[in-house]
Chain A
Amino acid sequence: MTSFRAWLAILAGALPASLVAVLLFITLYAWPAIHFNGWGFVVRDTWNLGNAYGSPVEVGGTSILPGASYGILFLIVGTLLSTLIALLLAVPVGVGAAIFLAEAVTGALRIWISFFVELLAAIPSVVFGLWGYVILIPILSHYVFPVLSGALGFIPIFAGPTGSGYGLLTAGVLLSLMIVPFIAATLRDALVSQPAPLREAAMAMGATRFETIWRVILPGTVKILISATFLALGRALGETMAVLMVSGNALNYLPQNVYAPISTMAAFIVSQLDSALQDPTGMAVRSLAEIALVLAIISIIINALARLMLVVWGRVAIPGGRS
Chain B
Amino acid sequence: MNTKKHSTRVEAGMVGVALAALVAAGALVASGDAFAAQTQVLETGSTLLYPLFNLWVPAYSEKHGDVKITTQGTGSGTGISEAISKVAQIGASDAYMSDAQMKANKGILNIPLAISSQMINYNIPGLNGEHLKLSGPVLAGIYDGHVTYWDDPAIAKLNAGVKLPHQQIVPVHRTDGSGDTFIFSQYLSFSTPGWSKSVGYGTTVSWPAVEGGIGAEGNPGMVNAAKGTPYSIAYIGISFKKATEQAGLGEAALENKDGKFVLANQKTVGAAVEATAGKTPANERISLIFAPGAESYPIINYEYAIVNTAQMPEMAAALKSFFTWAINPKGGSSEHFMKAVGFVPLPPQIRALSEKQIAMIH
CA distance A249 to B176 in the complex (A): 10
A272 located at the interface, meaning its Cβ lies under 8 Å from any Cβ of chain B in the complex: yes
Interchain nearest-CB distance for A143 vs B (Å): 14
A274 touches B207 (CB 8 A): no
Given contacts A49-B206, A164-B228, A164-B229, contact A274 B75 (CB under 8 A): yes
Given contacts A11-B15, A249-B216, contact A138 B211 (CB under 8 A): no
CA distance A111 to B321 in the complex (A): 64
Q: What A residues does B216 contact at CB under 8 A?
A: 249
A55 touches B100 (CB 8 A): yes
Q: What A residues does B77 contact at CB under 8 A?
A: 274-275, 277-278
Given contacts A53-B98, A277-B177, A280-B105, contact A249 B214 (CB under 8 A): yes
Q: Which of B81, B98, B209 contacts A274, CB < 8 Å? A: B81
Q: Is chain A's interface secondary structure helix, strand, loop, or mixed overall? A: loop
Q: Which of B11, B200, B228 contacts A137, CB < 8 Å? A: B228
Residue of B with least CB distance to A48: B206
Q: Which of A7, A51, A248, A278 contacts B80, CB < 8 Å? A: A278
A29 located at the interface, meaning its Cβ lies under 8 Å from any Cβ of chain B in the complex: no
Interchain nearest-CB distance for A311 vs B (Å): 30
CA distance A212 to B19 in the complex (A): 57
Q: What A residues does B98 contact at CB under 8 A?
A: 52-54, 280
Q: Which of B15, B99, B215, B217 contacts A53, CB < 8 Å? A: B99
What's the tally of chain A residues with a CB closer than 8 Å to chain B? 44
Q: What B residues does A164 contact at CB under 8 A?
A: 170, 212, 214, 225, 228-229, 232
Contacting A at CB under 8 A, from B153-205, are 168, 170, 173, 175-177, 200-204
Q: Which of A11, A54, A166, A274 contacts B100, CB < 8 Å? A: A54
Instruction: From A65, A165, A248, name the one whose CB has the most chain B CB atoms within 10 angstroms.
Output: A248
Residue of A with least CB distance to B7: A4
Instruction: From A3, A138, A165, A275, name the one whose CB has the most chain B CB atoms within 10 angstroms.
Output: A275
B213 located at the interface, meaning its Cβ lies under 8 Å from any Cβ of chain A in the complex: yes
Q: What A residues does B81 contact at CB under 8 A?
A: 274, 277-278
B11 touches A4 (CB 8 A): yes
Contacting A at CB under 8 A, from B32-82, are 74-75, 77-78, 80-82
Encoded as 1 (CB less than 8 Å from any B CB) or 0, chain A from 273 to 292 comes to 01111101100000000000
Q: What B residues does A7 contact at CB under 8 A?
A: 11, 15
Stretch from A101-109, A121-129, A250-258, A298-306 at the B interface:
A250-258
Q: What B residues does A51 contact at CB under 8 A?
A: 200, 202
B311 located at the interface, meaning its Cβ lies under 8 Å from any Cβ of chain A in the complex: no
CA distance A221 to B88 in the complex (A): 55
Given contacts A56-B100, A138-B228, contact A248 B215 (CB under 8 A): yes
Interchain nearest-CB distance for B237 vs A (Å): 17
CA distance A295 to B67 in the complex (A): 42
Interchain nearest-CB distance for A115 vs B (Å): 34
B24 located at the interface, meaning its Cβ lies under 8 Å from any Cβ of chain A in the complex: no
B202 touches A53 (CB 8 A): yes
**Chain B residues packing against A (C-beta within 8 Å):** 8, 11, 15, 18, 74-75, 77-78, 80-82, 98-101, 103-105, 168, 170, 173, 175-177, 200-204, 206-217, 225, 228-229, 232
20 A-B pairs in the complex with CB atoms less than 8 angstroms apart: A7-B15, A11-B18, A51-B202, A53-B98, A53-B100, A55-B99, A163-B214, A163-B229, A249-B214, A249-B215, A249-B217, A250-B214, A250-B215, A252-B206, A252-B208, A252-B209, A271-B175, A271-B215, A278-B81, A278-B204
